[in-house]
């Protein structure tokens, strides 16, 4: 029995990951997650998006995902995508054929750090209307937060017009926390 406990302790400690992440909160978003193994980055999903199988998620990648993606520091990410049902090819095909037009209210994202510094980042992809149709079912827009040291932040997320209907963004607070994860995925 002692041998089994010792082996398990070694295996678990070998899979321990210490990392930092940004945990977002905002009244206009519901909690969600981005990324994959071995961590998932906390994100917010904008509420009120129509059709209900379209979603917009926003987050700042955690340290593990930053490293996995080859990023140099805090990076804001927007995921705009159609959810395709895995077992209903007819519905998936119909959703792919559906044109969704999206326009951001602004192409600038404002970031304020806990230490009081203020930054503005241009998001070139948000300058013009864009769309999802056909095989383009997912867009990932990343914004490297150059010059922003890892710490708690407030980020002003733009509102979006989706096929003429406004979906509100606003201020997103991100609490910078250290985490320890035991085990794998």
Environment class of residue 96 by beta-carbon count within 10 Å: exposed (0-12), middle (13-18) or buried (19+)? middle
In angstroms and rounded to an integer, the radius of gyration of the C-alpha atoms of the chain is 19
Question: Per-residue pLDDT for 175 more than 60?
Answer: yes
Scan for tokens 């961590």, then name that residue: 39
Between 6-10, 143-147, 157-161, the lowest mean confidence (pLDDT) is in: 6-10
Q: What is the pLDDT of residue 37?
A: 77
Q: What is the pLDDT of residue 7?
A: 44
Q: What is the pLDDT of residue 3?
A: 60
Q: Quote the DSSP letter at residue 125.
A: G
pTM: 0.88
Q: Give the whole-angstrom CA distance, residue 115 versus residue 107.
A: 25
Q: What is the pLDDT of residue 16?
A: 86
In sequence order, the β-bridge partners of residue 74 are none
| 183 against 149, higher pLDDT | 149
Dump pLDDT digits (tens) for 73-118: 999 999 999 998 888 899 999 999 999 999 999 999 999 999 999 9
Question: Per-residue pLDDT for 185 more than 90?
Answer: no
Nearest alpha carbon to residue 138 among 106, 87, 96: 96
In the sheet that holds 118-122, the strands lie side by side as 17-25, 170-181, 153-157, 108-113, 118-122
Scan for tokens 């300058």, then name that residue: 127
In sequence order, the β-bridge partners of residue 129 are none
Dump pLDDT digits (tens) for 4-47: 454 444 444 457 889 999 999 999 999 999 987 778 899 999 98
E strand or H helix that includes residue 5: helix 2-14
Buried b or exposed e, range 53-75, using 16+ CB within 10 angstroms: bbbbbbbbbbbbbbeeeebeebb
């Amino acid at each position: 029995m002692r041998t089994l406990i010792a082996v398990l302790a070694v295996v678990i400690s070998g899979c321990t990951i210490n990392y930092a992440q940004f945990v977002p909160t905002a009244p206009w978003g519901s909690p969600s997650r981005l990324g994959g193994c071995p961590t998932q980055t906390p994100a917010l999903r904008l509420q009120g998006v129509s059709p209900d199988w379209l979603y917009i998620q926003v987050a700042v990648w955690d340290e593990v995902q930053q490293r996995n993606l080859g990023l140099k520091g805090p990076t804001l990410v927007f995921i705009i995508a159609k959810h395709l049902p895995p077992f209903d090819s007819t519905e998936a095909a119909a959703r792919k054929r559906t044109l969704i037009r999206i326009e951001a209210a602004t192409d600038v994202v404002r970031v304020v750090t806990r230490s009081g510094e203020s930054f503005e980042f241009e998001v070139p992809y948000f300058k013009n209307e864009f769309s999802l149709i056909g095989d383009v079912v997912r867009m990932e827009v990343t914004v490297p937060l150059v010059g922003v040291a890892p710490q708690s932040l407030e980020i002003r997320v733009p509102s979006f017009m989706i096929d003429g209907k406004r979906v509100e963004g606003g201020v997103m607070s991100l609490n910078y926390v250290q985490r320890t994860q035991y085990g794998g995925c």
